[in-house]
Structure 1
Amino acid sequence: MKLTTLLAGAAMALGLATSALADGHEKTKVGFVFVGPIGDGGWTYEHNKGRLMVEEQLGDAVETVFVENVAEGPDSERVMTQMALDGADLIFTTSFGYMDPTINIAKKFPDVKFEHATGYKRADNVSTYSARFYEGRAIQGHIAGKMTKSNIIGYIASYPIPEVIRGINAAYIHAAKVNPDVEFKIIWAYTWFDPAKEADAARALIEQGADVVLQHTDSTAPQAAAQEAGNVVTFGQASDMAQYGPFPRVSSIIDEWGPYYVARTKAVMDGTWESMDTWDGIGAGMVGIGEITDAVPADVKEEALAMKAAIADGSYHPFTGPIKKQDGSDWLAEGEVADDGTLAGMSFYVEGLTGEIPQ
């Protein structure tokens, strides 16, 4: 179901919620489980902006609660359990590693609705939602391929999961399209948020000759490291990170969770909530592209914006053949578009990338 569909009937839902309060019913309680701090400037910061939008738009009809810095694993189960025991009607769990814990706790609380971000396991009371971040990575790859002078692009990866592998592939494909000499150097940080590790990874990539650094980690530390180095291009991750513009941060991927959070909360309020999968991108507004600064040559900026428009209207898909896998085997024929099932479970590099994906 698309985000636009979710937003239909929103006014009616809000009216029902307000009426319910007038009749003496309790507020709808919505919980958020965050993997990082709300001040990380990236992933969790944007999820928390979505939470605040729920409060702003639904007002006295809702109460939101959150816990930040929740480790993926047993600790997250404890947090989810406590939220459910404290009366949460709806709980958003906002990191891939919360997938199995979410399923486990949902079984124990069948009357509570759960929404898990970036995963693929569902239940009667568990929905999944994610954004097509790879669409933004394709645009970044195009800009990176055009702007690198060393032909070395660094990539700070978090964990070897399909979401991250998709992003690396999308960025590389589009960098190599405009610069066949480009080389990607990838450092796996094995963290979503650790400013010290992220800064070290950025410095290591810069020492290896990278003059463009992309990241799939959540802090602004790589931006600061690039700023210190000078002449290194970066892109904001999950949030705009515009404080580092116009250079080194020349654009960004922005996660726009708020409208989804509002729509799903209203669905709980009016009794229309159903378990479903949502995977939206630039066209539906779930993925935003931050301002492309004047540090990017005008023609490159124009090309990037044209790609954004084509992705948004569906006339271009970032994974369109011909594309081979890293081992040289055929994957997509000329004009063939990758199916969502393959993308959702992507576990391979495309041709041209070096190194192995960690197991």
Structure 2
Amino acid sequence: MRITRRRFTQSALAAGAVGTAALSAPFVARAADPLKVGFVYVGPIGDHGWSYQHDRGRLAVEEAYGDKVETSFVENVSEGADAERVINQLAATGHGMVFTTSFGFMNPTLKVAKRHPNVLFEHATGYKRADNLATYAGRFYQGRTISGILAAHVTKTNTIGYIASFPIPEVVRGIGAFTVAARRINPDLQVRVVWVNSWYDPGKEADAAKALVDQGADVLLQHTDSPAPIQVAEERGVKAVGQASDMSRFGPTAHMTAVIDDWAPYYIERVGMALDGSWATGDTWGGFDSGMVKMADYNANLPAEAVKDAQEAVAAITSGERHSFDGPVKDQSGTVRIPEGEYMADEELLSMDWYVEGVQGKLPG
């Protein structure tokens, strides 16, 4: 069985771009022709986090379909105009399906999808769709709930450091879910956030981690993609939670667990639909119940009670018995946003733009 794997550089794509006329007819995968599937990553596949996990999903597609598919990827693609150029070039070079894997790729993906109606597009973490553009994401905030439970059990300073990328709802609700869960166990706990305005910048992430530890944080969380915060935690003797994949190798003592994104089943399913002609646009938001979000193994050095509480919470969220934003939930001003007996609806989660009680500082505008 032959499997073709390609890493496309942006310069190579530019050199090989062809006109859209080549795709003037609706895409149909013929038995003799492999379906060309492209992936666009915001970071390097060696980030050991977000892009790494998406690329594992790409490799799972190759393993599942063999010579029926031909996959390629472009890494380190900046959000904005550069992304539009890369996505368009994939569509114009015979790719029948393109996955774009960062929030900032949303508008560029939509523009290119309109330009190439016969190519199938899938965009991760966005909300804009079209007849040939679907969206998908994981309920990562569920994993932040579990992280909050662990942090509440192990902190001695009651100060948690949170290294955040961009102030978009996905990141804000993660901070909120973590803080709500942690403060239900330890009401004195406070969360300090440092915004680095990057998904992947090991230097900035490390500097933020060091600054937070210097300010008293003895647990570090991150919504950034490099293992730098885990390494700082290991060096400074504090605890941490990995992002997107198991990062325990970078901090065997510090790493409590990680919120793992498992994209492989989704990619296999959607590529299969493209192959058999059953693909349709739509939105997928999977959590613990779907397996799209998982927790890495808990560190053996964690208190048994902490692990027990974490495991019970995973089971309760999976079954629907518990929600990450069960009321009462207050915002920073002390105003009740979610009354007791209620929980935040998906529409509110998708647009969350406020800090919960216990988060210090002001949310960037």
Q: Unaligned regions of 5+ residues in structure 2, if any?
A: 1-28
Correspondence for 1:229 among 206, 224, 236: 236
Partner Cα distance (2:77, 2:188) in 1: 42
| Paired AA for residue 340 in structure 2 | E
Correspondence for 1:96 among 100, 103, 121: 103
Please report how far the alpha carbon of residue 340 of structure 1 lies from its aligned counterpart in structure 2 after TM superposition: 0.2
Please report how far the alpha carbon of residue 331 of structure 1 lies from its aligned counterpart in structure 2 after TM superposition: 1.4
Answer yes or no: is 1:146 the counterpart of 2:156: no
Please give the per-residue CA displacement for 1:235-290, whole angstroms capped at 9, x wherever unaligned.
Answer: 11001112135410011110000000010001111111111010010111000100
Answer yes or no: is 1:65 the counterpart of 2:72: yes
**Residue aligning to 1:286:** 292
Correspondence for 2:255 among 249, 256, 263: 249
Q: How does 1:333-348 map to 2 (within 5 A)?
A: 333-348=339-354
Partner Cα distance (1:242, 1:341) in 2: 34
Partner Cα distance (2:216, 2:97) in 1: 47
| Paired AA for residue 198 in structure 1 | E
Partner Cα distance (2:165, 2:41) in 1: 16
Most deviating of 324-333 and 91-100: 324-333
Partner Cα distance (1:244, 1:88) in 2: 36
Please report how far the alpha carbon of residue 139 of structure 1 lies from its aligned counterpart in structure 2 after TM superposition: 0.3
Partner Cα distance (2:209, 2:161) in 1: 8
**Residue aligning to 1:135:** 142
**Residue aligning to 2:364:** 358
Q: How does 1:23-62 map to 2 (within 5 A)?
A: 24=32, 26-62=33-69
Please give the per-residue CA displacement for 1:91-149, whole angstroms capped at 9, x wherever unaligned.
Answer: 00000000000001111000001100001111111101000000000000010011000
| Paired AA for residue 269 in structure 1 | L
**Residue aligning to 1:10:** none
Please report how far the alpha carbon of residue 20 of structure 1 lies from its aligned counterpart in structure 2 after TM superposition: 4.7
Correspondence for 2:164 among 153, 157, 168: 157
SS of 1:321 mapped into structure 2: coil
Please report how far the alpha carbon of residue 75 of structure 1 lies from its aligned counterpart in structure 2 after TM superposition: 0.5
Answer yes or no: is 1:217 the counterpart of 2:234: no
**Residue aligning to 1:315:** 321
- Contact 2:40–2:73 (CA under 8 A) maintained in structure 1: yes
**Residue aligning to 2:173:** 166
- Contact 1:252–1:289 (CA under 8 A) maintained in structure 2: yes
RMSD: 1.0
Answer yes or no: is 1:299 the counterpart of 2:305: yes
- Contact 2:159–2:190 (CA under 8 A) maintained in structure 1: yes
SS of 1:64 mapped into structure 2: strand
SS of 1:304 mapped into structure 2: helix
**Residue aligning to 1:113:** 120
Partner Cα distance (1:118, 1:333) in 2: 28
**TM-score (normalised: structure 2):** 0.91
- Contact 1:246–1:294 (CA under 8 A) maintained in structure 2: no
Please report how far the alpha carbon of residue 62 of structure 1 lies from its aligned counterpart in structure 2 after TM superposition: 0.3
- Contact 1:166–1:343 (CA under 8 A) maintained in structure 2: yes
Identity across aligned pairs (percent)?
53
SS of 1:237 mapped into structure 2: strand
| Paired AA for residue 125 in structure 2 | T
Answer yes or no: is 1:78 the counterpart of 2:81: no
| Paired AA for residue 320 in structure 2 | G
**Residue aligning to 1:193:** 200
- Contact 1:324–1:330 (CA under 8 A) maintained in structure 2: yes
Partner Cα distance (1:224, 1:245) in 2: 6
Partner Cα distance (1:193, 1:20) in 2: 39
- Contact 2:141–2:173 (CA under 8 A) maintained in structure 1: yes
